[in-house]
Amino acid sequence: MIYHGRTFLSKVSLQDICQAINKYAFVTSHYPVIISEKLHLNVKQQDTMADVMMEEFGKRHMMVPIEQKQLHWTSYQVQNS
């Protein structure tokens, strides 16, 4: 479950969030979507989170090793991935 502490926001499942991102975020732009996460999870929970994201995003989920963070994508690569 995803929630923002000390607020009136309701809890939402990670899978529901990823499904919404996958359904709507790629409609109006073919540029990559950057998801910023603030995690308070142990390693097993992080693995589960990564599994959910990989399952929901499929080929749209780009995993880049930290040492390759300078990677630049062209719009052609994004459109054809």
Give me the tens of pLDDT residue by residue for the chain, a chain 81 residues long. Answer: 777 677 777 888 999 999 999 999 888 887 888 888 888 888 899 889 989 999 998 888 777 665 655 555 554 445 555
Per domain, the residue ranges of the chain are 14-79
Helix/strand/coil for 20: helix
32 near 74, Cβ under 8 Å? no
pLDDT of the residue at 20:
93
pLDDT of the residue at 7:
75
60 near 81, Cβ under 8 Å? yes
Regarding pTM above 0.95, the answer is no
φ, ψ dihedrals at 2, nearest 5°: -110, 135
Give the torsion sign (CA, 30, 32, 38, 41).
positive
52 near 8, Cβ under 8 Å? no
Phi-psi region of 19 (alpha: psi -120 to 50; beta: other; left: phi over 0): alpha
